[in-house]
Copies of this chain bind each other. A is one copy, B any other.
Amino acid sequence: MTANPVWSVDPRTGKQRERVAAEATHRDVDRAVRAAHAARAALAGAATRAAFLRTAADLLDGSAARIVESADAETALGAARLTGELARTTGQLRVFADCVDEGAYLDVRIDRADPSLTPPRPELRRYKVPLGVVAVYAASNFPLAFSVPGGDTASALAAGCPVVVKAHPDHPATSELCAALLREAATANGLPADVVTVVHGFDAGLELIRHPLVTAAGFTGSIRGGRALFDAAAARPVPIPFHGELGSLNPVVVTPAAVAERAEEIGSGLAGSVTLGVGQFCVKPGLVLVPTGQDGDRLAAALAKSLAGTEPGVLLDHRMREAFLAGTRERAALPGVDAPVAPGPGGERSVGAGFLTVDATTLLEDGPHEVLLEECFGPVTVLVRYADQSEAAAVLGRLGGNLSATLQLSEDETRGAPGPAAELISLVTGLAGRIVVNGWPTGVAVAPAQHHGGPYPAATSHATSVGATAVERWLRPVAYQSVPDALLPAELREDNPLGLPRRVTGPGA
């Protein structure tokens, strides 16, 4: 049996650039997972992990030119965007290093023994321990920030979990390059290189999720692929947590007062958000509720003008281009759907941005319009024109879970003037993980209060994949009852040698 070759392909030309690797066989996956498993103990020291993450960030920054060149050649996302993405990625590695240093993620809790209670309470000391080998599934649309050196990898390593990354076929060369730098960072800090390995191939991804020594997984991608892996994770003899981000429509609601005030600004802002990264963001606004009437028409006109002036863009690969063309064609052909700027082919390899419009009443009919409530990857959005607040609410009531929901409000509404804003905030809180007011959902800040997740299918768990709390996914609590100080892990010892934040309760606390 010869392993299938893995080629790096230039989406701008459709040409194979180089043969990067071979698809991992069953034995390759097993070897990678076992090597990662064997490297667990080496990751136990927090100081070493933090140093490793910082070295990794430095090495990636030091190779910025090569990385950006490689990623651009494989994804066509452009040097500017990829330079920013790399900065975000290395910033993220440093944030998790700080997080390891600070130690709050261990959620140390100490309950002193309390013999006065009925029954008497023994001493309990709790912290969190790493789960073990984590499988990471890289995303197509973020070759860095959600791929080999991305947030899943960074947070898992921060937690003390070795990582096996299933690379995305859209950027295998960049994946190998980044993996080599991460492995170099490991050995530079006295860690085995196998704390991070990369495997290629669809079958390898399935092997990985089924491997007995894999303890959890992080995934960013499609509903179809993500659900298949989620199902495999749940069907294991020992099920494991699967933290997947699968798809999101990212609804936007524009209130009548807002559109009266800022129709053109909202229209052009929307165009910018829809076409950012050629519409290949998981938080691209895919459904926009706009009031019927002249103000809404002005918004649509501004959107049309901006989109018509947008250069065609190259999608990540030819399958995505075909899916975009087929998906937009299917939607545009529905009765009652117009395409003021028709999304479609740009050049031979590119696509042109566009948008569709439909009335809320039409959308709310049962039948083929349901597809408008599904994510369509690429530079397209759907304006849903609504007559009143109850129609807007009815449309929101038909949506699944989302990563984000955005409200465009008037100045008075932001000050709490009576109107639909309060009800809208409450409605969208029920269906999204992040609520944005008078901004756009694209651009997910790496910050302690960030939440990048949401009800299914936005995410398969209630965890976030961006922000400091992402590390919580790879840990489990352990409580130590009446364990003498000499035998406690350093994190829980009475004299707190690591200086960790802790919550203490009970007598003398």
Q: Does A202 lie at the interface of the complex (its beta carbon under 8 Å from any beta carbon of B)?
A: no
Within the assembled complex, what's the spacing in Å between the Cα atoms of A506 and B448? 10
Tell whether, in the assembled complex, residue A451 and residue B479 are in contact, meaning their CB atoms are under 8 Å apart: yes
Q: Does A397 lie at the interface of the complex (its beta carbon under 8 Å from any beta carbon of B)?
A: no
Q: Does A386 lie at the interface of the complex (its beta carbon under 8 Å from any beta carbon of B)?
A: no
Residues on B with beta carbons closer than 8 Å to the beta carbon of A129 = 429
Q: Does A349 lie at the interface of the complex (its beta carbon under 8 Å from any beta carbon of B)?
A: no
Tell whether, in the assembled complex, residue A478 and residue B432 are in contact, meaning their CB atoms are under 8 Å apart: yes
Closest chain B CB from A464 CB (angstroms) = 6
Q: Does A481 lie at the interface of the complex (its beta carbon under 8 Å from any beta carbon of B)?
A: yes
Q: Known contacts being A475-B462, A484-B437, is A449 close to B124, with CB within 8 Å?
A: yes
Q: Does A416 lie at the interface of the complex (its beta carbon under 8 Å from any beta carbon of B)?
A: yes
Residues on B with beta carbons closer than 8 Å to the beta carbon of A110 = 449
Q: Known contacts being A87-B118, A447-B111, A447-B505, is A437 close to B230, with CB within 8 Å?
A: no
Q: Does A31 lie at the interface of the complex (its beta carbon under 8 Å from any beta carbon of B)?
A: no
Closest chain B CB from A242 CB (angstroms) = 9
Within the assembled complex, what's the spacing in Å between the Cα atoms of A109 and B434? 13
Residues on B with beta carbons closer than 8 Å to the beta carbon of A400 = 238
Q: Known contacts being A445-B124, A462-B477, is A483 close to B437, with CB within 8 Å?
A: yes
Task: Render A170-194 as a binary contact track against B, CB cut-off 8 A, 1 for contact.
Answer: 0000000000000000000000000
Q: Does A54 lie at the interface of the complex (its beta carbon under 8 Å from any beta carbon of B)?
A: no
Within the assembled complex, what's the spacing in Å between the Cα atoms of A445 and B433? 34
Q: Does A362 lie at the interface of the complex (its beta carbon under 8 Å from any beta carbon of B)?
A: no
Within the assembled complex, what's the spacing in Å between the Cα atoms of A45 and B110? 30
Checking B239, B421, B433 against A487 with a beta-carbon cut-off of 8 angstroms, the contacting residue is B421
Closest chain B CB from A397 CB (angstroms) = 13
Residues on B with beta carbons closer than 8 Å to the beta carbon of A433 = 476-479
Checking B118, B421, B422, B482 against A436 with a beta-carbon cut-off of 8 angstroms, the contacting residue is B482
Within the assembled complex, what's the spacing in Å between the Cα atoms of A451 and B131? 16
Tell whether, in the assembled complex, residue B477 and residue A122 are in contact, meaning their CB atoms are under 8 Å apart: no
Tell whether, in the assembled complex, residue B449 and residue A125 are in contact, meaning their CB atoms are under 8 Å apart: yes
Q: Does A126 lie at the interface of the complex (its beta carbon under 8 Å from any beta carbon of B)?
A: yes
Q: Which of A285-293, A319-327, A330-338, A452-460 contacts B (4 or more CB under 8 A)?
A: A452-460
Q: Does A438 lie at the interface of the complex (its beta carbon under 8 Å from any beta carbon of B)?
A: yes
Tell whether, in the assembled complex, residue A109 and residue B449 are in contact, meaning their CB atoms are under 8 Å apart: yes
Please provide the chain A residues from 359 to 389 with a CB less than 8 Å away from any CB of chain B in the complex: none
Tell whether, in the assembled complex, residue B450 and residue A126 are in contact, meaning their CB atoms are under 8 Å apart: yes
Task: Render A228-262 as a binary contact track against B, CB cut-off 8 A, 1 for contact.
Answer: 00110011001101000000000000000000000
Please provide the chain A residues from 257 to 306 with a CB less than 8 Å away from any CB of chain B in the complex: none
Task: Render A401-439 as a binary contact track against B, CB cut-off 8 A, 1 for contact.
Answer: 100000001000111100001100100010011111111
Residues on B with beta carbons closer than 8 Å to the beta carbon of A486 = 414-416
Residues on B with beta carbons closer than 8 Å to the beta carbon of A413 = 487
CB-based nearest B residue for A479: B451
**Other A-B pairs beyond A124-B447, A230-B234, 6, CB < 8 Å:** A111-B449, A234-B235, A238-B400, A422-B487, A436-B481, A447-B505
Can you list 28 A-B contacts (CB < 8 A)? Answer: A109-B448, A111-B445, A121-B447, A124-B447, A125-B449, A126-B451, A230-B239, A238-B400, A238-B455, A238-B457, A241-B462, A413-B487, A414-B484, A425-B483, A433-B477, A433-B479, A434-B481, A435-B480, A435-B481, A436-B481, A437-B480, A437-B487, A439-B482, A447-B505, A447-B506, A449-B479, A450-B479, A451-B479
- Chain A positions within 8 Å of B, measured between CB atoms, are 84, 87, 107, 109-111, 118-119, 121-122, 124-126, 129, 131, 230-231, 234-235, 238-239, 241, 400-401, 409, 413-416, 421-422, 425, 429, 432-439, 443, 445, 447-451, 453, 455-457, 460-462, 464, 469, 475-484, 486-487, 489, 503, 505-506
